[in-house]
Structure 1
Amino acid sequence: MCRWLAYAGSPLLLDEVLYRPEHSLIDQSLHARMGVESTNGDGFGIGWYSPGGDGTPAVFRDIGPAWNNRNLRELAAHVRSPLFFAHVRASTGSAIQQTNCHPFRHGRWLWMHNGAIADFPRLQRDLCMAVDPALFPSMEGSTDSEVMFYLAVTFGLDQDVPGAVARMAGLVERLGKLHGVDHPLQMTIAVSDGERVWAFRYSSQKQSRSLFYSNRTDTVRELYPELDYLRDVSDETRLVVSEPLGSLPGVWNELPEGSYAVLPSAPTEDYLPFVPDLT
């Protein structure tokens, strides 16, 4: 599978999250603790929104491992962003090529995924036929993750993010049943329009891949006033990660099975239930 993180909050150098934590995403690319594989070296990608930009995210992806990519290290030390994605890939069978590396971009949207559609080749044609024909030329790769993205765009991502993802998941579930595929969907997904991040955790088998969100910064600041890097970030700054970036108690919460979170979120509403739309 894969490991990923999404950040939303005060503008921050990517390096602060990608490299510096004790169990950073770069460390997870070599030593994942909660993934199916401990090594995630089949490519990587970052996507970020620039303050004052036109709302379209920049994307940098490559097919080599993240842990020894000099260009990634250089970018991370100089790019400052209020909202960014990062993903390290372990292929589930599709080709190792740039167009299959996450995150995927369409207009102002970013999307990344950890998981798989079971027996994807059996479902692929029917799933692709459900993509809006006007969107089909934008699909460049061969992954189930990209098909899921364009299905969500087809089903109204611009108007209703949770609803569009629920309709996408529902279609996968229905086609899986039609083709005799047990437990067709496994997903943790992050999607953003540049203003907010939606993070989803769901699987047909109710045994989803790991996903965690950080407590509000003001809460963590009260617990650990000695952490200097928290002094200059907003109270609403949050992270969603496949694995916690460190071991400090009280910082990380597991996103429950069958739920989604929105960043930034209201202090009293960390997550909401997620159910595929089977209608």
Structure 2
Amino acid sequence: MCRWIAYSGTPILLSQVLFRPEHSLIDQSLHSRLGVETTNGDGFGIGWYPGDTDTDTPAVLRDVGPAWNNRNLLEVAHHVRSGLFFAHIRASTGTAVQQTNCHPFRSGRWMWMHNGMISEFSRLRRDLALAVDPALYAGIEGSTDSELMFFLALTFGLTDDPPGAVARMAGLVETTGQAYGVPHPLQMTVAVTDGVRVWAFRYSSEGRSRSLYYSTRVETLRALHPDASFLRDVSDDTRLVVSEPLGTLPGAWNEVPESSHGIIQPGGDELHAFRPVPPGGPRPN
């Protein structure tokens, strides 16, 4: 599968998250502890919002090589500072290793990344692709299930109601899979952002989803670890959502509950249950 990180909070150099932690994303690309594969070397990507420019669209850097030895990634990470960024390392589930298949995916100001798979995607692909809004379809550049999931969510109103759109996307995938006799069509942890808020989803048809964690509130960590100097440099609203904990600091990481989604946003984070909505079903509460 894959590993990913979503960061929101005090603007920092990307290297502080991607390279410096004990079990950083770069370390996970070689030594994943909780993923299906130990090595995630089928490409990588980072996406960030500059914050000091007139554009509200994210910058994206993607490549097909492994993250652990990419000099461009090292250079960018040590010179780019951002308060909201995504990073992803890929382990292909069958689609080609090519730049357009690397995450995160972008549409306007929105970014999306995914760990998991649509089971028997080659059989389901045509039916799912036909459900994408024709006005959006030309924006699909690659061949992954992950990017198609993104464009289905856009079709179902991602820009207005991210949880509802992702629920309808998941419902369509499950309904289509079941029509083809696929017992557990969907496995996903997903992060999506509009540059202000971050939504993170953990769900699978079989109820055994891939790992996902979120960081404990900074003020709580300061009380637990008053000697941890790096905690003094970030704001109280700084958060990370990660496929695997980045270190072993006691109390720092919390597992995202099965079949749930969370929102990181100004004014307070939220955690809710998540369930797919089949085609024609009512909008989720």
Query: TM-score if structure 1 supplies the norm length?
Result: 0.98
Where does residue 147 of structure 1 map in the other structure?
Answer: 148
CA distance in 1, matches of 2:234, 2:265: 13
C-alpha distance in structure 2 between counterparts of 1:253 and 1:264, whole Å:
18
Q: Give secondary structure in 1 for the equivalent of 2:73.
A: helix
Q: What's the % identity of the aligned pairs?
A: 68
Letter in 1 for 2:14: L
* Aligned residue in 1 for 2:106: 105
Q: CA deviation at 1:233?
A: 1.1
Determine whether 1:26 maps to 2:33.
Answer: no
Within 5 A, what are the aligned runs for 1:1-279?
1-53=1-53, 54-264=55-265, 270-278=270-278, 279=281
Amino acid at match of 1:33: R
Moved over 4 A (4+): none
Distance 2:270 2:32 in 1: 25
Q: How much does 1:264 deviate?
A: 3.2
- Alpha-carbon distance between aligned partners in 2 of 1:223 and 1:73, rounded to the nearest angstrom: 32
* Alpha-carbon distance in 1 for matches of 2:194, 2:59: 12
Number of aligned residue pairs? 278
How far, CA to CA, are the matches of 1:57 and 1:159 in structure 2?
Answer: 19
* Deviation by residue 1:203-251 (Cα, 9 ceiling, x = unmatched): 0000000000001111111111112121121101000000000011110
Q: Is the 8 A contact 1:237 1:264 kept in 2?
A: no
Q: Which runs of 5+ in 2 are unaligned?
A: none
2:174 partner letter: E
The offset of 1:193, in angstroms, is: 0.2
Compare 28-37 and 220-229 and name the one that shifted more: 220-229
Work out the CA distance in 2 between the residues paired with 1:264 and 1:12.
Answer: 18
Q: What amino acid maps onto 1:117 in structure 2?
A: I
The residue type equivalent to 2:3 in the other structure is R
1:222 & 1:73 partners in 2: Cα distance? 33
Q: Is the 8 A contact 1:9 1:264 kept in 2?
A: no
Q: Distance in 1 between matches of 2:247 and 2:227?
A: 16
**Structure 1's 179 and 265: CA in aligned 2 closer, same or farther, altered over 3 A?**
farther
Shift of 1:157: 0.6
Q: Distance in 1 between matches of 2:71 and 2:88?
A: 16
Alpha-carbon distance between aligned partners in 2 of 1:232 and 1:17, rounded to the nearest angstrom? 14
Normalized against structure 2, the TM-score is what? 0.96
Superposed displacement of residue 48, structure 1: 0.2
Q: CA deviation at 1:173?
A: 0.7
Secondary structure of 1:230's match?
helix
- For residues 194 and 276 of structure 2, what CA distance do their matches in structure 1 show? 21
Query: 1:51 offset after TM fit, Å?
Result: 1.1
Residues of 1 paired with 2:43 and 2:155: CA distance?
27
* RMSD of Structure 2 on Structure 1 (CA): 1.0
The separation in 2 between residues aligned to 1:264 and 1:220, in whole angstroms, is: 19
Q: In structure 2, give the amino acid aligned to 1:147.
A: L
